[in-house]
Amino acid sequence: MKLVYTDVLVIGGGLAGLRTAIGVKRRGLDTVVLSLVPAKRSHSAAAQGGMQASLANSAMGRGDNEDVHFEDTVKGSDWGCDQQVARMFVHTAPKAVRELAGWGVPWNRVRSGDREAVVNAEKITITESPEAHGLITARDFGGTKKWRTCYTSDGTGHAMLFTLGDQSIAHGIPVMERKEALALIHEGGRCYGAVVRDLVTGELTSFVAKATVIATGGYGRIYKVSTNGIICEGTGMGIALETGIAELGNMEAVQFHPTAIVPAGILTTEGCRGDGGVLRDVDGHRFMPDYEPEKKELASRDVVSRRMTEHMRKGKGVKSPYGDHLWLDISLLGREHVEKNLREVKDICHYFLGIDPAVDWIPVRPTQHYSMGGIRTRHTGESTALKGLFACGESACWDLHGFNRLGGNSVAETIVAGMIVSEFIADFCQSGESEISIPTALVREFHAREQARLDEILTSKGKERASDIRRRMEEIMINKVGIFRTGTELDEAVDELQDLLVRSRSLGLESRVRGANPELVGAYRLQKMLKVALCVAVGARQRTESRGAHSREDHPQRDDANWLKRTLTTWKDEGDTLPAVDYEPIDVASMELPPGFRGYGQADHRNHPDTEARLSEVTAIREQLSGADRFAIQNRLMPFDHQLPERYREKNECLEEPVEKTR
């Protein structure tokens, strides 16, 4: 048995994983990063549009601050988020953007003077102030009151990932590529590391660590069509689920992005619409103002995706061999803008569609894009149920996004969570409670179990093919657990997925190679993916309301009275075919922003019994502190500073709110 000891094991080499590794390394801890692919090829590189942070440098961002960003985030979540975490996030995001600038991310900058922009399909002139010249600028994004999405043209994720990759090298952090965690090592409610397979040689290695971090991204590839990279299969959540202890939160909360190209399903950034692009139907009509007259194309993503689907259902879609679609028109932005600020979109359209988006309309339709659900953690990033296991980024549910996330908040979350969670991990590792006292025999037991499972798959004479089962799972998820959901279809989905899980226990392989063997990899990942899919489908079936991206056509009302709570799923026994489901109430009485009307369509929600009382309390506090600064009011409503690592507690500075220097 090959055995490696380290202080911190980070599973996942994207933005969240690398920033976490850098944070713990800076605290003097040894850390190892495992990645399925070369780290700079992680799916984080696909993020195009930008990263939200309330810098308020650009003219269209003036008046923005953490309070406005917080309100946008809470409303975007449809009041499903943890408001303490949302506060921690919006407070740290400006620090994260500036840190990345110092490390070399080439953020687009403000240029003083007049410039042309397209807003609501009309050209306007924006005048930037001389004092903002050279500062980090921002673009508009969906669901926001201010322009706050910092960007590097439309290659933001790429620039950020390469910068963090270089920083990990500078800090001497080993990133081990082509490594896959098969199982977590745990005993007595404590995680001690993972059993890891080399995807090239097939060799197993057991990593023992004081803290184990899962930062493996989302589970988009359980769907037939997704903007996610092919490595985003939810297996990080799967190995947590298979401990029988760790909880997954809000797995039914799945976001569909409005503008993926047809038929490939590749993302065209929200920056297209943020920069002034519009959506058109088969008649060339711009239809979003008919549904959402205020925000139009820049309503929250879940809203735009539903409106597009509704419009196609009315017969207004463009017919194609790949199904109906609509048009994204960015030609009105002009060639210079497209080739400078949307050049990645231009390349995607050229290579995958054979069109020029500076002239031609882009065929798009809503496609699975993001997973709000993940490993349920505290604000520290530590699992609520399995000590020593941490998670951050899209694989975690700490719960920043609730039931819908805003564009630009996920890229920001990868960095902010890495900054914050790494401090808590370091605190944990430098305390007495992180001591490892397990016998080598326990590690050997987990190592042997995983080797036996691989051997069983390789020698099985089963008749089932993993590719057939996976293909059917993807079809079930896209057709029955998609943008719109019904009880009948969800019942069918759960039943069929259970049957597929049973069938997946009788797999047979054509290739018996123990080393690099894609068929073997697909086989041993399959059960994890099916379990994750069942968590999504069961959670969706039981949640008889509509909230954020979870839209039940048979229960269209948001029901705070009965459903203002998080779904928690666990997989108690290996032989089970359904997850165990529990719920975690969301405390209205402690909210800074009590539940209300989100601002889209008609106000149609059922109030929580505590909402009216909390609204009265919030109003009274604001009246009592009339004349006080916004920090004092916020602190009285919902203190959060004490939950932040000390190094990130300082106030943020902007042009409109200079911070008095104390030293």
Same domain, 413 and 551: no
Which residue, 410, 434, 458, sits at the end of a domain?
434
Q: Are 258 and 298 in contact (CB under 8 A)?
A: no
Calculate Rg over the CA atoms of the chain.
Answer: 24
d(CA 533, CA 500): 11
Q: For the domain that residue 334 is a member of, what is the CATH number? A: 3.90.700.10
Phi and psi for 466 in degrees, rounded to 5?
Answer: -60, -40
On whether residue 374 sits in a domain, the answer given is yes
Using left for φ > 0, alpha for ψ between -120 and 50, and beta otherwise, residue 178 falls in left
Q: Are 282 and 318 in contact (CB under 8 A)?
A: yes
d(CA 3, CA 205): 6
Same domain, 49 and 160: yes
d(CA 131, CA 144): 24
| Domain coverage including residue 184 | 2-107+143-254+370-434
The model's pLDDT over 382-427, given as tens digits with 9 standing for 90+, comes to 999 999 999 999 999 999 999 999 999 999 999 999 999 999 999 9
Q: For the domain that residue 148 is a member of, what is the CATH number? A: 3.50.50.60
Instruction: Tell me the sheet residues that pair with 249.
Output: 374, 568
On whether residue 118 sits in a domain, the answer given is no
SS3 196: strand
Same domain, 286 and 155: no
On whether residue 296 sits in a domain, the answer given is yes
**Total structural domains in the chain?**
3
d(CA 218, CA 539): 17
Please give the pLDDT value at position 662: 52
Q: Is 273 a catalytic residue?
A: yes
Same domain, 504 and 548: yes
On whether residue 622 sits in a domain, the answer given is no
SS3 3: strand
Same domain, 90 and 175: yes
Q: Which of 91, 257, 552, 608 is catalytic?
A: 257
Q: Is 41 a catalytic residue?
A: no
Residues 6+ away with beta carbon under 8 Å from 336:
none
Please give the pLDDT value at position 431: 93
On whether residue 497 sits in a domain, the answer given is yes
Burial of 529 (0-12, 13-18, 19+ CB in 10 A): buried
Which residue, 568, 601, 635, sits at the end of a domain?
568
Same domain, 384 and 500: no
Q: Which of 43, 87, 148, 273 is catalytic?
A: 273
Same domain, 99 and 215: yes
On whether residue 611 sits in a domain, the answer given is no
Please give the pLDDT value at position 661: 60
Secondary structure string (H, E, C) spanning 169-189: HHCCCCEEECEEEEEEEEECC
d(CA 329, CA 87): 36
On whether residue 119 sits in a domain, the answer given is no
Which residue, 310, 343, 365, sits at the end of a domain?
365
Q: For the domain that residue 503 is a member of, what is the CATH number? A: 1.20.58.100
Same domain, 311 and 417: no
The torsion angle over the Cα atoms of residues 157, 160, 162 and 167, rounded to 10 degrees, is -150
Same domain, 69 and 164: yes
Same domain, 228 and 244: yes
Same domain, 95 and 156: yes
The residue ranges of the chain whose pLDDT is under 70 are 661-663
- Alpha carbon of 477 to those of 222, 469, 581, 645: distances in Å? 7, 12, 19, 40
Is the CA virtual torsion 584, 590, 591, 595 positive or negative?
Answer: positive
